[in-house]
Structures are given as C-alpha cells and as structure tokens.
Homo-oligomer: A and B are copies of this chain.
C-alpha cells in the first residue's frame, strides 16, 4: 500500500468517508485551499490527496478547475457494477479455497453490527458497514491487489447510490449477506458466487432504478417524473414549469 504523509493520510480517509457516507454530495466543490487549511497542511499535500481520490474515481478534477466530488454517468455506473461483479466472484472463489472457521465468525459479527445500525436507523453507519462487509470478504481472499481494487469499486458504488439511488438508502440487504456467509461455510463455490452475483445485481437495480438522476442535474427529467407521479395520483396541483435547459 502506497503510504503518504500522516496528515495527508488522515485527510484522505476523512474525505473518502464523507463522500461514501454521502455527507459530501456529488458535485460538491473541494478547493485545495480549504481542505489544506482544514487539515492543517499545505496546498501541496492537499493536492496530493485530491489526486489520489481522483485516481480512485471519487473526485473529478480538470486542469485549472476546482475539484469536485465525482458524478459518474449512468453508463459509467453500469460499467462499474459489471467489473465489481467479476471481482466479487473472484474474491468469493479465492476465499473459499483458503477458508478458515474464524472467517465465518468474523463475518457474522460484522452482520450483527449491520443489523444494530439498521435497527437504530443510523443511515450513515449502515452505508459504511454495508460496503465494509464486501471489503472484509475481499481481504480474506489473501490477495491485496484484489482487495484494493474492490475497495475502490465499492466506494464508487456508494457514490453512484448517492447520485442515482434514493437518498440515504443503505446499499445492501443484510439478510443477503447472511446467505452468502452460509454458502461460504459450506465451501459451496457455485452457490456462493451465484448468491454474490444476485446480491450485487439487486444492489445495482436499486441504485440504478431511477431512469434519471435524482440530483438536480437533469431538472427536466426530475420535474417530469414528479409530474407523472402527481398526474397519476389525481393531478390536483398544477406544477410550475422550471427553467428549461436549452436543447443541445
């Protein structure tokens, strides 16, 4: 793992968390000055952490422009889920090959945490733990490169959820995690990979359910979606027309 300056490492982790937990929404500006000042480091290091986040696909940064939290396109979102599925399959297969009983206990402990967070309606922690389940499983594969790649993809999936999914919907159904653990315990590679594939597939469906972004990027689409809903439910209210984007 490529190390960086201690303060830069803290900044990196903090920004990453904030983006994943949807405290910083896609499109939010990230000026070098501010994040440098906030974490008590120079712009040099602020730049470095932003570059790192950019390489992972969590921030967009073009020359001479302020960096922002990334806004992956729908196409990119689909691509990300596709690659994620392929790597999750690999992680499951490798983990089963070197399975140890402790692994099951560790994963089940994690699922208990997930349930606790769900129970107290702690959305932020729920989102984080849902992703961490997959990272822990990847770690058990014993392949650090795979673990890193999956961590990156899982983060980007959280970002996609923030962009296209319902606000604050957590990523995973916890019981699906339990089913996967059961299959791992039985060393059932075919079953476990199938369950994992279905699981990630259902996350994807939930994330990309909306045919248009939920953020105010496609004002027209959002408004017409609401219009449809309202019309269907009786059309009692007349909707003011928003400023139209010039058709390109």
Task: Using known A-B contacts A3-B62, A63-B5, determine if residue A83 contacts B52 with beta carbons closer than 8 Å.
Answer: no
Which positions 46-80 of chain A face chain B at CB distance < 8 Å?
Answer: 47-48, 51-52, 54-56, 60-63, 75-76, 79-80
Judge whether A61 and B149 touch: CB under 8 Å.
no
How distant is A65 from chain B, measured CB to nearest CB, in Å?
A: 10
Judge whether B87 and A145 touch: CB under 8 Å.
no
Give chain B residues whose Cβ lies under 8 Å from the Cβ of A79.
143-146
Give chain B residues whose Cβ lies under 8 Å from the Cβ of A52.
51, 55
Task: Using known A-B contacts A48-B51, A51-B52, determine if residue A145 contacts B5 with beta carbons closer than 8 Å.
Answer: no
Number of copies: 2
- Is A89 at the interface (CB under 8 A from chain B)? yes
How distant is A96 from chain B, measured CB to nearest CB, in Å?
A: 15
- Is A169 at the interface (CB under 8 A from chain B)? no
Give chain B residues whose Cβ lies under 8 Å from the Cβ of A146.
79, 82-83, 86
Judge whether B55 and A51 touch: CB under 8 Å.
yes
Judge whether B3 and A63 touch: CB under 8 Å.
yes
Give chain B residues whose Cβ lies under 8 Å from the Cβ of A48.
47, 51
Judge whether B143 and A82 touch: CB under 8 Å.
yes
